[in-house]
Structure 1
Amino acid sequence: MLAATVGLLGGCADELGRKVTDSDVSCLRAQMGARVALSFPMAANTCQRMTGHNVVGLAKHPEPIPLDLRGAPDLQAQAREYNYAYRS
């Protein structure tokens, strides 16, 4: 069952958001470079993880986890511009 679930999640199309194996940088680049390119805020909202692993009810007050943008100064500049928390 777990293998089937991981297989299904790993095969998501770009339009569906973050893949299980994506880093924050790879997710943002995929979303911003897709056929329907998203702006940085839209891509960040698609890619940003939440405490509680995005499972409803797991965390009482889920908070966004800062984007890990190490090695991506262009994305860091956009995160600063749009006031997104990130690690560099």
Structure 2
Amino acid sequence: MRWLVPGTILVLTGCSAEMGRTWNDTDVSCLRKQMGTEVHLSFPLAANTCQRMTNHNFFIGADKAKPLPLNLKGAPDLQSMAETYGYSYTR
């Protein structure tokens, strides 16, 4: 029980970029964080980590979930990468 609050905070805020998308990340901030880590993920791997799904990435309804377009407003470099790799996005 004494680890419940600290554990919840770590899960919600994330310890490192390798953990994936945190609750307060935008698509742009998540992609930049994933591609800027020591691992230097490629755009497709970073996009797969950051992309949200229609079921809000919850396990219920995962078989029918579809990826939502990445919101790349104000990031022309990421928009060109999304076009190159065939990811749907909004400007």
Same fold (TM over 0.5): yes
Q: Distance in 1 between matches of 2:31 and 2:79?
A: 11
Q: Distance in 2 between matches of 1:61 and 1:43?
A: 22
Q: Distance in 1 between matches of 2:86 and 2:64?
A: 21
Q: Find 1:47's aligned residue among 45, 50, 60.
A: 50
1:31 is matched by which residue type in structure 2? Q
- TM superposition shift of 1:3: 9.0
- TM superposition shift of 1:57: 1.8
The structure with more helix, counted as a fraction of residues: 2
- Calculate the TM-score normalised by the size of structure 2: 0.86
4+ residue runs over 4 A deviation? 1-4
Of structures 1 and 2, the larger Rg is shown by 2
RMSD, aligned CA: 1.9
Q: Distance in 2 between matches of 1:16 and 1:65?
A: 20
2:16 is matched by which residue type in structure 1? A
Q: Find 2:87's aligned residue among 81, 84, 87.
A: 84
Q: Find 1:18's aligned residue among 16, 21, 44.
A: 21
- Calculate the TM-score normalised by the size of structure 1: 0.88
User: Structure 1 residues 53, 3: closer, same or farther in 2, change over 3 A?
Assistant: farther
The gaps in structure 2 that reach 5 residues or longer are: none
- TM superposition shift of 1:16: 1.0
8 Å CA contact 1:24–1:48 kept in 2: the answer is yes
